[in-house]
Structure 1
Amino acid sequence: MTKSVFDSRLVDAVARATAHAPFLAMILSREPEIAEQLRAGILPPLESLAIDDPAMPPGRRLRLERRRLALLVAIGDLAGLLDLTAVTGALSDFADRALETAIRTAIHERTPDAAPTGFTAIALGKQGSHELNYSSDIDPILLFDPATLPRRAREEPQEAAVRIAKRVVELLQARDGDGYVLRVDLRLRPSPEATPAALPVEAAIGYYESQALPWERAAFIRARAAAGDIALGQGFLDTIRPFVWRRALDFGAIGEIRGISRRIRDHHAQGQAFGPGFDLKRGRGGIREVEFFAQIHQLIHGGRDPALRAPATRDALGALAAGGWIDPDEARSLSASYTALRTIEHRVQMIDDRQTHALPVGDALDSVARLHGLDRGDELLDLLRPHVTATARIYDAIEPDEGDALSHDRTRLAAQLAAAGFADTTGAVQRVEQWRGGSYAALRSPAALAALEAVLPALIEALGTAPDPHAAILRLDAMLSRLPSAINFLRLLEARPALARLLGAILSHAAPLAEALGQRASLLDGLIDATALDAVGSIDELAGEMADDGDYQAQLDHVRKIVGEKRFALGAQIVAGASDPLEVSAGYARVAEAAIHVLAHATIEEFALKHGRVPGSELVVLALGRMGGGALTHASDLDLIYLFTGDFAAESDGAKPLGAVLYYNRLAQRLTAALSVATAAGPLYEVDTRLRPSGTQGPLSVSLDGFARYQRESAWTWEHMALTRARVVFGSPDAAAATMAVIAAVLGGDRPDRDIIADAIKMRAEMAAHKPPTGPLDAKLSPGGLVDLEFAVHVAQLVHRTGFDANLGRAVEALVAAGHAPPGMRAAHDLLTRLIVTLRLVAPDAQFPEPTTQALIARAIGLPGWPETLAALTRTRQEVMQFWHDIGGRHGD
């Protein structure tokens, strides 16, 4: 490398550098002594770069040495006196030396008398293989041994290591008028988004032995203990060697490394097509493909053949050819390509000391060509074209046919997604690539990625039929992002294609269910058994499932878990078209009633531990509204009234006794919390207690006697209307009978004499003013919707004192039979209820959905299509409006 006699090639190289590389021209002007030697045709030895000045700060010394090295290596390269191996070796050796100096300096500054042990830098990438770029960054992993790391008194090892690491990076990256030493990228360390800059060596070993990603295995082919405590670093590499070099012929490694290559082969990205702007590193047929070709074969065969474990790319190609693993001609072709591409890459980087890999365009391309010694940019392209073409052809040969799988090639993947129904293919491609890249914890293992690939085609096909495929894929993305592990989830979908299709339908059409899955993906497990799409069991059976032998908190969590599973399965039944929404609605109510039973018992027992019980008294829970009628939707809250039997002046018998009124009010508060407050297992129900006597101004719980007196003497018409759907959902048979007897007497006429029809008309008008329909499909609040039907039914019940049944459908039937409602009202009730139950899942905003969801709604309510659905809704609303008008018309007479 040293030339002590005149060499005209150096003079020519300096002239080209001065004319076409501003960065090199700047260094020539700032290093006049070296410039003078070069212009005299003499290349100073690289060893002469070292600055022996103990008084100079280490950072500045390294910056000056790097500047001089950049000049000598560049001119030697341009003159043809330093080949690629010499250039990259000199750059890598300097990087090692700089990293060593930075580590020693950082430790010495903090602990001057301590030996620089317990802290090591593992070089990855091109530094690890002694192939560093002219203007490259370095990608070290910084590790420490807590037992031997020097640290200050009362300082934790982790804190000391992070401070050392930060100082190392600062010393190398700091810029001033003399430039910088090295760019440092620490993102190749395990889980960089969550881990500190320096890691304990044992933690790093655990990571690589248990959860490292496929690309990390390939990265460690070129790993090397480069600086700091070399013995510590080498011990780490020896320990994780089995992670990199597996003895079994691991043909799965092809798939692992192809995943990286495919993400780089982005045919939409600038720099893929050969020509001006071509990315020498990432482009098709570029440097990365040479490296990956070698690494794929190294990973497959290197576990059994140690001779293949060469870090440097050209050395690896030679070893593979010598061992008969690849064709020798292909090895020579790839090696020549690598040399040519890396050489021109260095030319591009010499111009402005930028970490770029792309050929420039226009006049700038001509300038690069002239820096290399050619006349024009097209000559440079002619020089590179055969190498790029050969590399692309050779690399393509190891890409197996993807068959029916989703392509890893961006162009083909985008076409597949477009064919599936995705308009925003760019966003969808990004999501798929993010999953394949192991960005989420659940997708970091090879097993999870393999399971993902197996199920992706079916999922994408299902999501593509969504009204908004982009929103659907975002919901799937949210779910995957929250999963601690996706292997079982994905294998389940792979084993059950019908379940994968159902998941796609849920994500596509049912936002509430999709959001629930995003919070708790295990909900899908409940659909494994085909019986999950059957009607839920009886209240007693459900309560048995919800019962838990643990403490009170465990019981709260267990009920939420079971309720979540049951409500999710019920919603899935509608999406799958497996159940009548009327049956689903009743199922929702049975699930809620079972939860009330279980949580009321548990809350009473928990409350009694401190306050005992009130003798001769018990809690009664009265449900009204949709819960009272036993017909909930997915979004329904629970309208509850708390009552208690016995003497209101009695007192509990516990260690901390309470009067009956206070006792049951506090107990009611506890039960409301048990039913509504979110725990670690999630939320349960919203509880509405505003229908209690005196509303929000009254106590939360009242005695049965007080309730009876209020209803007989003070309740308003709207409260009696609400009472028509009252039903005891918790309490002993005797207490339930006593409560229902009070209600029956009130509904039968033991109540104030009021103008029911006038009151109802006024109330409905006020409701219409304050709660207008949310959209054209609001089958509840629109004129002629379910609210109008409820008003008409309740008025007819109260006026005629007949047809009382908490279930609205049966109440309608009784009124029809008695001649107080038109014959078509039961069908109207059923259609409106089916529509509301379905829309709460698939169109909660009551707006017109997309055609695919329209078909789902029509199927759910038992009609052939969307036009028939709209026609039936219009006809039904007209009939209900007429019924309600007839009620008011009679009042007008």
Structure 2
Amino acid sequence: MAAFPDLVSGFAAEGSDAAVAKALEMPGETVGERLRRRRHALALAVALADLSGEQPLEWVTAKLSDFADAAMDEALRTAMLERMPEDEPRGLAILALGKLGSRELNYSSDVDLVMLFDPETLPRRPRDEPGEAAVRYGRRFIELMQQRTHDGYVARVDMRLRPSPEVTPIALPVDAAISYYESSALPWERAAFIRARAAAGDIRLGQQFLGEIKPFIWRRALDFGAIQEIRDISLRIRDHYAQGQAFGPGFDLKRGRGGIREAEFFTQVQQLIHGGREPELRAPATLDALDVLSKSGRLEADVAGALADAYRALRTVEHRVQMIEDRQEHRLPSDPAALEAVAQLDGRGGAEELLAMLAPRVEAVGVQFDGLVSDREERLSNDPDILRRELGEMGFKEVDEAFRRVSDWRSGRARSLRSPAALSAFESMLPTLMKAVAAGPDPISALNRFGDIIDKLSSGVNLYRLLGARPKLADLLALILTHAPPLAEQLGRRPTLLDGLIDESSFAPPPDAGALADRFLKAVRDEPFDLALDRIRRMVGERRFALGVQLLAAHRDPIVIAEGYSDLAEAAIVALSEVVTQEFEKTHGRVPGGELVVLGLGRLGGRALTHASDLDLIYLFDAPDGAQSDGAKALPATDYYNRLASRIGAALGTPTAAGPLYDVDTRLRPQGAQGMLAVSMAAFDHYQRHEAWTWEHMALCRARPLTGSEEIKANVRKRICDILRAPADPVKVRADAVAMREEMARHKPPAGALDIKLGEGGLVDLEFAVHTLQLTTHVGLDPRLEVALEALVQAGRVDAGADPDLRLLSRLLVVLRLVGTKAMEPAEQSRTLVASLCGFEDWASLLAAVDVARQRVAARWAAVKGSDS
């Protein structure tokens, strides 16, 4: 303040922004003198704004960071012009990492830099090699930045984050750096580059480099080994700085347990886990990252809030420590008088008040960081006798069979267990998984299914690390392997599906169809057609798997899961239709005034899909008479929409590397398999009014338009309603329905006694009863059975118990499609789970309730068949 009195009076009169502007105008005879004076003046201006409470932490760190960027740019430019005054400086980029990279610089931070050059564009003297010239520029730049004079220094420069700093020059060729990060970089370097930014020099060169190495930083498949290594680094830091770990005087605010670095690492781990698939999570600054992680549901709001609060408090107190004599210090003073001074500088009543404010925040960070990865390192014995005893103690009844399985895996026969890294990770996770499996109802079957996954994996190291580090995930895997063969098969094809279950956000309520479709389309906006299709299929597969796990883990009512399956299928249809249509239009253009509608029927139309449901679809189009497309290869409207519909069906139904998506059934269209795939609205309307059979009108009772503009969907809904309301002979409708149900019973008999879909008094009988009433009374014309039943109950056409019976049978169907066999008979060891998921204490209680419900459904169908009204 004594050195810059005008700045102080300016702050008092005009505020912080004016003081910062004045600081950045400080003159000097040389570049070095000017930058040093400005640095000191800026530190004062920012400190006044900080200590007065006029500006928050984010403003403080941003101003310090922006100055560092500008100073580095000027210093580098000066270094290059001194040697090559005739050439415009270019071809040399400075990347900022660490706190400068995320614009979170301290009052007394080092600046962590990586310097890259382009040999083709770097200005140099005729006899200079590009590398020699770049190093000369770099050395002069560092001298201008950190040499101490009577004016102090600009910033301490740390170049040790470059590849192999002990053997490489301070400036690296950009192509060599790209090659290093693509092939040889260590896992911790991924975390460092989360905050990397082109900060000075040739910004375009720096940004191009960061774009090239983005896949190295943000991997779509979770690398749990990298996350473990990041935490190991921090644990080593804890050990190294052990004297600063205990909270109190002398506590290391940066490196101590629950300190700044652990808050940063915890946040970066969450970003590494999810950021490969969700680019919006890649915010470099810690507070920004916590905010987006919370808003995306990847971090619980209260956890993110507590970490943000702790981070602000820790950084603020660190600033107070560094304000004293401009020290590069991160510890609270051990000396009582010095600690008292820091507390008073922070506006506290004393040291005790400062420590009381920090203590719970430090503990909150430490607890979260401790939970990142399991510290336990257990191994099963290699001694056969000891291993058998261990397996028996875990709860395995068939010890010899479990022993045989473990011995087979250890033999290295499976490709995924041949590398030392994979074997080590496998042995680390094996006790966790084996305990979880042993606690299940059929451990050996679960081990056999896990063996199938192991055999199909090409590389298992990431999966094994993940399971070893997440015991709850191992429990969940055991549940899947024991009870849900369809999910186990999906895992066998794509073990990375487990990546999506590493936190509680995977159990959040599923978004609605519109929001999901938007999310899918946003994710593939800039991708080529084939990659976009594959990406959407993968995302749909992941969500379908997650819904199955939610059902199995009892996180949602099976009815809600059925709606989730339906919304997911609808979103897949909408998104894939959009992507396919855009690609189709590149060749064939658009049909002016034309539009395609995908109509969902059956369980899809009624929002009641199960894990195993087909998609019943009809394609309709509306176009002016004689219309044709306007593309390079023009087509008449009928050909255009039939080809487009065929491609949409292929996108939905063709198995790919991402696995099968859905089986698509289009036989409900006019004329069935003999008719055109896509029909015009007019032809559909005429067919339904004049040619359709009663069973086709019954199918139409559950029809719902899924794609198209709101206007055309409303038009389709109105047409369907008008068709269903058309006068009909009730006697004929009932006779046709009875004949059709008998025909179905002959051609599709029940799979077993528990077939609650096709068996007597099952869901098909209930659907027939509802659809027959809809067509004969025109009451409850809604594709959702529960909505239709509510209207029919109010009209006195059905008793009030119909809806509870529908829900019970539907719950059981949804569960059995995941847990049961083809005969819809769950394995004995799964019956308790099935009963629980359906809301019953035991299997016998569930069977008794289902039996009563089926009797009532059979009576309702019998009443509808014999109705005279």
TM-score of Structure 1 vs Structure 2, range by shorter chain = 0.5 to 0.7
Aligned pair 1:623/2:597, yes or no?
no
Offset of residue 409 of structure 1: 2.4
Offset of residue 768 of structure 1: 0.9
Offset of residue 655 of structure 1: 1.2
Q: Which amino acid aligns with 2:429?
A: V
Equivalent of residue 566 in structure 1, options 533, 540, 543? 543
The two structures have a TM-score, normalised by structure 2, of 0.55
Contact 2:378 2:428 in 1 (8 A): no
Aligned pair 1:856/2:847, yes or no?
no
Offset of residue 451 of structure 1: 2.6
Tell me what 1:792 maps to.
769
Offset of residue 448 of structure 1: 2.8
What per-residue deviation string (whole Å, max 9, x for no partner) do you get for residues 774-819 of structure 1?
A: 1222111111111011000111111110111111122112211211
Aligned pair 1:696/2:673, yes or no?
yes
For the structure 1 residues 635 and 738, does the alpha-carbon distance in structure 2 shift closer, same or farther, using more than 3 Å as the test? Answer: same
Flag the structure with larger Rg. Answer: 1
Tell me what 2:455 maps to.
481
Contact 2:763 2:806 in 1 (8 A): yes
Distance 2:615 2:492 in 1: 25
Offset of residue 675 of structure 1: 0.7
Aligned pair 1:499/2:473, yes or no?
yes
Deviates more, 1:871-880 or 1:752-761: 752-761
Report the secondary structure of 1:823's partner residue. Answer: coil
Distance 2:669 2:377 in 1: 65
Equivalent of residue 513 in structure 2, options 519, 529, 539? 539
What per-residue deviation string (whole Å, max 9, x for no partner) do you get for residues 335-385 of structure 1?
A: xxxxxxxxxxxxxxxxxxxxxxxxxxxxxxxxxxxxxxxxxxxxxxxxxxx
Distance 1:846 1:467 in 2: 20
Distance 1:719 1:467 in 2: 45
Matches within 5 A, 1:183-222: none
Offset of residue 420 of structure 1: 4.8
Distance 1:743 1:421 in 2: 59
Aligned pair 1:872/2:846, yes or no?
no
Offset of residue 406 of structure 1: 3.0
What per-residue deviation string (whole Å, max 9, x for no partner) do you get for residues 468-513 of structure 1?
A: 4333212111212222332322222222211110100000000000
Contact 1:582 1:833 in 2 (8 A): yes
For the structure 1 residues 727 and 881, does the alpha-carbon distance in structure 2 shift closer, same or farther, using more than 3 Å as the test? Answer: same
Distance 2:648 2:729 in 1: 32
For the structure 1 residues 464 and 777, does the alpha-carbon distance in structure 2 shift closer, same or farther, using more than 3 Å as the test? Answer: farther
- Give the total of aligned pairs: 493
Contact 1:648 1:661 in 2 (8 A): no
Contact 1:649 1:661 in 2 (8 A): no
Distance 2:478 2:767 in 1: 36
Offset of residue 698 of structure 1: 0.8
Equivalent of residue 403 in structure 2, options 416, 429, 438? 429
Report the secondary structure of 1:621's partner residue. Answer: strand
What per-residue deviation string (whole Å, max 9, x for no partner) do you get for residues 185-209 of structure 1?
A: xxxxxxxxxxxxxxxxxxxxxxxx9
Tell me what 1:609 maps to.
586
Contact 1:585 1:632 in 2 (8 A): yes
Offset of residue 725 of structure 1: 0.6
Offset of residue 421 of structure 1: 5.4
Report the secondary structure of 1:702's partner residue. Answer: strand
Equivalent of residue 457 in structure 1, options 431, 441, 455? 431
Aligned pair 1:733/2:710, yes or no?
yes
What per-residue deviation string (whole Å, max 9, x for no partner) do you get for residues 245-274 of structure 1?
A: xxxxxxxxxxxxxxxxxxxxxxxxxxxxxx
Tell me what 1:720 maps to.
697
Equivalent of residue 591 in structure 1, options 547, 568, 583? 568
Question: What is the CA RMSD across the aligned residues, in angstroms?
Answer: 2.2
Offset of residue 431 of structure 1: 2.2
Offset of residue 414 of structure 1: 3.3
Distance 1:416 1:788 in 2: 53
Aligned pair 1:469/2:443, yes or no?
yes
Tell me what 2:787 maps to.
810
Report the secondary structure of 2:758's partner residue. Answer: coil
Tell me what 1:511 maps to.
485
Contact 2:816 2:825 in 1 (8 A): no
The two structures have a TM-score, normalised by structure 1, of 0.53
Distance 1:865 1:736 in 2: 45
Contact 1:467 1:849 in 2 (8 A): no
Contact 1:717 1:754 in 2 (8 A): no
For the structure 1 residues 700 and 506, does the alpha-carbon distance in structure 2 shift closer, same or farther, using more than 3 Å as the test? Answer: same
Offset of residue 872 of structure 1: 0.8
Aligned pair 1:407/2:384, yes or no?
no
Contact 1:563 1:591 in 2 (8 A): yes
What per-residue deviation string (whole Å, max 9, x for no partner) do you get for residues 721-762 of structure 1?
A: 111111000111111111111101011126688711111111
Tell me what 2:88 maps to.
none
Offset of residue 467 of structure 1: 4.7
Any gaps of 5 or more consecutive residues in structure 1? 1-208, 211-401
Offset of residue 461 of structure 1: 2.7
Equivalent of residue 823 in structure 2, options 841, 846, 864? 846
Equivalent of residue 763 in structure 1, options 722, 727, 740? 740
What per-residue deviation string (whole Å, max 9, x for no partner) do you get for residues 321-345 of structure 1?
A: xxxxxxxxxxxxxxxxxxxxxxxxx
Contact 2:621 2:679 in 1 (8 A): yes
What per-residue deviation string (whole Å, max 9, x for no partner) do you get for residues 568-618 of structure 1?
A: 000001111111111111101111111111111111111111111111111
Tell me what 2:628 maps to.
651
Contact 2:642 2:676 in 1 (8 A): yes
Q: Which amino acid aligns with 1:576?
A: A
Tell me what 1:438 maps to.
412
Distance 2:570 2:601 in 1: 12
Contact 2:820 2:827 in 1 (8 A): no
Aligned pair 1:687/2:661, yes or no?
no
Contact 1:783 1:881 in 2 (8 A): yes
Report the secondary structure of 2:686's partner residue. Answer: helix
Tell me what 1:116 maps to.
none
Contact 1:645 1:703 in 2 (8 A): yes
Tell me what 2:638 maps to.
661
Offset of residue 844 of structure 1: 3.1
Identical amino acids, percent of aligned pairs: 49
Contact 1:561 1:681 in 2 (8 A): yes
Equivalent of residue 826 in structure 1, options 803, 807, 822? 803
Offset of residue 889 of structure 1: 2.1
For the structure 1 residues 409 and 727, does the alpha-carbon distance in structure 2 shift closer, same or farther, using more than 3 Å as the test? Answer: same
Aligned pair 1:632/2:609, yes or no?
yes
Deviates more, 1:574-583 or 1:464-473: 464-473
Distance 2:771 2:412 in 1: 58
Q: Which amino acid aligns with 2:408?
A: Q
Report the secondary structure of 2:761's partner residue. Answer: coil
Distance 2:417 2:393 in 1: 26
Report the secondary structure of 2:706's partner residue. Answer: strand
Equivalent of residue 528 in structure 1, options 484, 488, 502? 502
Distance 2:729 2:590 in 1: 35
